[in-house]
Structure 1
Amino acid sequence: MERIGTIGDAAIEVIAAEGMRGLTHRAVDRAAGLPVGSTSYYARTRAALLELAVTRMVELDSTELEPPVGGLAEFLAATVHQAITEGRTRMLARYEFALEAVRRPELRAAYDRGGLLLRRRCAEILEAAGSPAPERHTRVLIGWLDGSIFDALAGTGSLAPPGLNELTESARELLAGLGLPDTR
């Protein structure tokens, strides 16, 4: 349903701009350019609206989990770079959701679906690259991805976020530390 996607996208934008406290049905209607009451037709409660938004985030993430075409370091660097540039809004909303999921168990399952999807895909990529311990290496890699993105968006690193070249070098160093080649 196209309308649900529009509402989900608008909810993500509202959360990124105003935080969880700013998420209301009317704010989403406004952000989506829909008549008042449209969002509440599809998501009657705030909990349903949160579920719709996190489900949309997972849906968008899953379309971006394509296998790397070039080198693994370039793929990882491009992933971080995209998240801190064009994907900034979704990442900020994701941080809001992460904290909300800690406090609201009903959101935890939906939030974790996206994280587990990313982790599974990461382990597959690392296994294909020759990792002898793809699950363990996934933890290290996700830590680097999450840390790099968070620092560039919300940490002190936001004062001078890394560019694509710096991220590529960092990814190469990380892969070398894991004993993985930068496959090309």
Structure 2
Amino acid sequence: MATTRDRALEAAVRLVGEQGVRALTHARVDADADLPRGSTSNWFRTRDALVAGVVVWIAEQERADLTTAMAPAATPDEVIDVLTLLLEDATGRNAVRTRARYALFLETTAAPGAQPAVTTQRSMFEEWTRDRLRLLGAPAPDLAARSLLATCAGIIVNRLTVAPDLPIRPTVELVVRSALDPR
């Protein structure tokens, strides 16, 4: 059974992903999660703390998905296949969570108290991606990781906004293979 905190975070993601960041208030989260009034503020005293908490929670969910999916991926083709599936999920089955993540990224530029959460989570994803590309033999894993993450972000934004049927695999394959053999 989900804890009160998890119910609040799930509701917050749903609100932001479906209605935008203006929907993110303690009272609306409590109502959406069917929690007693004031429950969310017991966990997250300020709006910045709530934004930061949601950013971390989303990142934890995404890292769990990534870690599970990538566990058996040991070759470039397997990594490309898994990344393709993860991006399809991010823009399909998990589109609400993804829209919430992007909305909150933009929100943190005006919420200095929440910005460290974004920076920390981004660093963790960069480190994971860099390590995976290093294991595959990328000669410049730092640049490769930043390039791959930027490409994935672009694919996500395009699929969520103007090109929902944008093919994923060809672009991911181009970037991964270029990272591994940058001739």
TM-score bracket for the superposition, by shorter chain length? 0.7 to 0.9
Determine the C-alpha separation between the residues in 2 that align with 1:45 and 1:105.
12
Determine the C-alpha separation between the residues in 1 that align with 2:114 and 2:155.
25
Residues 1-184 of structure 1 aligned to structure 2 (within 5 Å): 2-66=3-67, 67-70=70-73, 71-154=78-161, 156-158=162-164, 161-162=165-166, 166-180=167-181
When the two chains are superposed, the root-mean-square deviation of aligned CA atoms in Å is 1.9
Between the two proteins, the alignment pairs up a number of residues equal to 175
TM-score, normalising length: structure 2: 0.86
Task: Give yes or no for contact 1:101–1:108 (8 Å, CA) kept in 2.
Answer: yes
2-11 or 46-55: which moved more?
A: 46-55
Determine the C-alpha separation between the residues in 1 that align with 2:39 and 2:125.
32
Which blocks of at least 5 consecutive residues in structure 1 are unaligned? none
Determine the C-alpha separation between the residues in 2 that align with 1:45 and 1:175.
41
Q: Report how far residue 109 of structure 1 moved.
A: 0.4
Identity of aligned residues (%): 25
Determine the C-alpha separation between the residues in 2 that align with 1:125 and 1:45.
37
Task: Give yes or no for contact 1:61–1:114 (8 Å, CA) kept in 2.
Answer: no
Determine the C-alpha separation between the residues in 2 that align with 1:13 and 1:27.
11
Q: Report how far residue 4 of structure 1 moved.
A: 1.0
Determine the C-alpha separation between the residues in 1 that align with 2:104 and 2:128.
21
Which blocks of at least 5 consecutive residues in structure 2 are unaligned? none
Letter in 2 for 1:9: E
Task: Give yes or no for contact 1:68–1:75 (8 Å, CA) kept in 2.
Answer: no
Task: Give yes or no for contact 2:66–2:86 (8 Å, CA) kept in 1.
Answer: no
